[in-house]
């Protein structure tokens, strides 16, 4: 866990979108669903779209559905977000958690 934390801090410090705020993110396990079963989309669960790459922009298409690690709201994420290159902000009205993927984990800043 210490190694992951150090890695996460390094990533956060190099990411201007979520870094530079002195906030150490929380970390959640990333779980995968093979089949689309909405009831099993618990916080931190990802489901790769059947038609990954077919929706959205050609250079950065929608790739998966991810349940917010803080509130469980479902959101579409893009290929770049899937690869950990872009952060996401939860789309729920009651939650504004920011999160990004890193090495099989979800790093997130809980909503205030």
**Site map (CB under 5 A) of Zn ion, residues 63-92, x = contact:** -----x-xx-x----------------x-x
Pairing assessment for the beta strands 60-67 and 105-109 based on DSSP bridges: unpaired
Distance of CA 101 to the CA centre of its chain: 5
Phi, psi of 8 (to 5 degrees): -60, -45
User: Smallest distance, Å, CB 59 to Zn ion?
Assistant: 27
User: Smallest distance, Å, CB 101 to Zn ion?
Assistant: 15
- What is the spatial distance between Cα 54 and Cα 27, in angstroms, rounded to a whole number? 30
- Does 27 help bind Zn ion (rule: CB under 5 A)? no
- Does 46 help bind Zn ion (rule: CB under 5 A)? no
Q: Which is nearer to Zn ion, 69 or 78 (CB)?
A: 69
- What is the spatial distance between Cα 61 and Cα 81, in angstroms, rounded to a whole number? 10
**Sites of contact with Zn ion (CB under 5 A):** 68, 70-71, 73, 90, 92, 95, 97
């Amino acid at each position: 866990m210490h190694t992951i934390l150090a890695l996460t801090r390094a990533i956060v410090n190099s990411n201007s979108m979520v870094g530079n705020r002195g906030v150490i993110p929380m970390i959640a396990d990333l779980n995968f669903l093979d089949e689309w079963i909405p009831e099993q989309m618990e916080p931190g669960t990802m489901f790769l779209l059947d038609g990954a790459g077919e929706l959205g922009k050609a250079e950065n298409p929608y790739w998966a559905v991810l349940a917010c690690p803080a509130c469980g709201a479902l959101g579409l994420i893009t290929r770049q977000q899937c690869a950990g290159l872009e952060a996401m902000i939860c789309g729920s009205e009651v939650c504004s958690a920011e999160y990004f993927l890193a090495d099989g984990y979800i790093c997130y800043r809980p909503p205030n």
